[in-house]
């Protein structure tokens, strides 16, 4: 008997683990781990970091090597004949071999920039700012994803509650139908009242079907946000407590200006543009570089059967004297781009402020709707209970009961919507601010 019990526990234990409800924190963690957009953002960070490190190499000497092998059809020779000397017999012609049939050449070259008019420094700083931009881009993707997870999470909870309301409504209308049918058999109500009660049951079934479909869609959307299989089972931990978010509007706007990654990214873009101006101006200055080259050859110079070494050192100075205004126009272009970014930043700040204001006022109204809808549920429950009793006593009509049922269903549905809409509104405000309100409260303490 003990072995059977142990076997049952071993078999069912994984099922119990799988049935554990998923918390909001765990959902966010899964989404951050699986979401492709966040993975793309991380790869962009690696790309920007590599470009930043690459720009450091431009300050350092670069070493190049080359080698070649040449095969000629024959050795190059030069025939020489000396002029005759009076009184002596004519001298024979002589032949001098200039190159061998096989020519070998090895070369090493080192180049070192000495002065570039500030181009290399500006390029490094530009890539450094671009790296910071990639970090803020990742932060934005992360913030947007966290909001989508919260929104999807609360929409599933809302759909579950609406389904529950639909099930309760169906049970209540079916129970009322039995009462009406009993009254009809006793001759207390006409047949039309039975028909009305049956229609109400049909509407309740239709409502339940709609809520079940809405729940399936909400669960599918939740799985898509977490980048899971659409048909994967969704069991979530319910959150009914309504946490207070007491924060002033001006404080929210100030925090948004400080922490919104979009604003931070654009500020870094402006710094990149300013470095671009410096890069464009560098063409007004001379470009100075040092070159050292070592060369080893055999077969191309006399004596052709020996290796011969040579080297040279060159200091190169290049100055753009006249380019028909191309450099100056490049500077003007860079300045115009910076000015565009500055104006874009001002527009973005206005949009961020408006987004914060909308989210803040929506949060306030959502909070008020919870209180109003909660009172409506209490009134609707009392009204339905009293009307049902009066109907059984013959003091209320079937229509009164059905109207009271409809009012109760609507009140409960509105209450659950307002409850989770408040949490979505809170998440939207935190997204608009670029940080969570709980973190802000901890800092204030």
94: left (phi over 0), alpha (psi -120 to 50) or beta: beta
Give me the mean pLDDT over the 164-186 stretch: 92
- pLDDT at residue 71 in the model: 86
Taking alpha carbons only, the member of 51, 145, 144, 65 closest to residue 111 is 65
Q: Mean pLDDT, to the nearest integer, of 357-372?
A: 93
Share of the chain above pLDDT 70, in %: 90
Position 345 scores a pLDDT of 97
Strand order in 308-318's β-sheet? 62-71, 102-115, 287-298, 308-318
Query: Across the chain, what does the average pLDDT equal?
Result: 89
Contact 185, 386 (CB under 8 A): no
400-425 pLDDT, tens per residue?
999 999 999 999 999 999 999 999 99
pLDDT at 15: 45
Q: Report pLDDT for 76.
A: 74
Taking Cα atoms as reference points, which of 265, 264, 266, 245 lies closest to residue 429?
245
Q: How far apart are CA 221 and CA 227, in angstroms?
A: 9
Q: What is the pLDDT of residue 303?
A: 76
Convert the pLDDT of each residue in 381-394 to its tens digit.
Answer: 999 999 989 988 88
Residue 349 confidence class, pLDDT cut points 50, 70, 90? very high
More confident residue, 127 or 7: 127
Residue 428 has pLDDT above 70, yes or no: yes
Highest mean pLDDT: which range of 100-104, 239-243, 337-341: 337-341
Phi/psi for 313 (5° steps) reads -125, 135
Asked whether the predicted pLDDT for residue 206 surpasses 50, the reply is yes
Q: What is the mean pLDDT of residues 145-154?
A: 96
- The structural domains of the chain, ordered by start, are 23-54+121-290+330-444 (1.20.1600.10)
pLDDT at 227: 94
- Determine if the peptide bond prior to 303 is cis (ω within 30°): yes
* pLDDT number for residue 8: 46
d(CA 220, CA 156): 9
Average pLDDT over residues 260-265: 96
Own/partner contacts of 55-59, CB < 8 Å, gap of 24 or more, are: 55/120, 55/123, 55/124, 55/126, 55/127, 56/124, 58/113, 58/120, 58/123, 58/124, 59/113, 59/120, 59/124
């Amino acid at each position: 008997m003990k072995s059977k019990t142990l076997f049952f526990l071993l078999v069912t234990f994984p099922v119990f683990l799988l049935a554990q409800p998923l918390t909001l924190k765990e959902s966010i963690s899964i989404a951050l781990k699986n979401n492709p957009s966040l993975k793309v953002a991380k790869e962009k960070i690696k790309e920007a970091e590599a470009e930043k490190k690459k720009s450091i190499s431009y300050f350092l000497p670069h070493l190049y090597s080359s080698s070649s092998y040449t095969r000629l059809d024959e050795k190059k020779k030069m025939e020489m004949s000396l002029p005759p000397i009076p009184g002596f017999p004519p001298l024979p012609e002589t032949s001098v071999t200039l190159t061998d049939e096989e020519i070998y050449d090895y070369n090493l070259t080192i180049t070192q920039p000495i002065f570039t008019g500030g181009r290399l420094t500006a390029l490094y700083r530009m890539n450094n700012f671009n790296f910071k931009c990639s970090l803020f881009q990742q932060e934005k993707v992360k913030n947007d994803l966290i909001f989508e997870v919260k929104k999807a999470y609360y929409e599933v909870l809302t759909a579950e509650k609406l389904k529950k309301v639909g099930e309760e409504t169906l049970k209540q209308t079916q129970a009322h139908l039995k009462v009406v049918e009993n009254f009809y058999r006793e001759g207390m109500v006409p047949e039309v009242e039975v028909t009305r009660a049956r229609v109400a049951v049909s509407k309740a079934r239709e409502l339940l079907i709609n809520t079940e479909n809405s729940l399936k869609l909400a669960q599918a959307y939740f799985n898509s946000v977490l980048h899971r299989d659409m048909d994967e089972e969704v069991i979530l931990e319910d959150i009914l407590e309504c946490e207070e978010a007491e924060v002033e509007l001006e404080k929210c706007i100030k925090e948004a200006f400080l922490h919104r990654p979009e604003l931070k990214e654009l500020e870094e873009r402006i710094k990149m543009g300013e470095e671009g101006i410096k890069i464009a101006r560098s063409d007004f200055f001379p470009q100075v570089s040092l070159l050292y080259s070592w060369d080893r050859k055999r077969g191309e110079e006399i004596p052709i059967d020996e290796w011969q070494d040579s080297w040279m050192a060159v200091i190169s100075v290049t100055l753009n004297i006249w380019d028909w205004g191309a450099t100056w126009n490049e500077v003007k272009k860079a300045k115009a781009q910076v000015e565009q970014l500055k104006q874009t930043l001002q527009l973005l700040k206005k949009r961020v402020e408006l987004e914060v204001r909308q989210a803040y006022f929506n949060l306030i109204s959502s909070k008020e709707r919870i209180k109003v809808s909660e009172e409506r549920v209490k009134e609707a429950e009392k009204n339905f209970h009293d009307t049902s009793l009066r109907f059984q006593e013959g003091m209320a009509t079937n229509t009164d009961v059905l109207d009271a049922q409809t009012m109760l269903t609507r009140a409960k549905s509105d209450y659950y919507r307002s409850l989770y809409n408040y949490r979505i509104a809170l998440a939207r405000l935190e997204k608009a601010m670029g940080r969570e309100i709980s973190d802000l409260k901890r800092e204030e303490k």
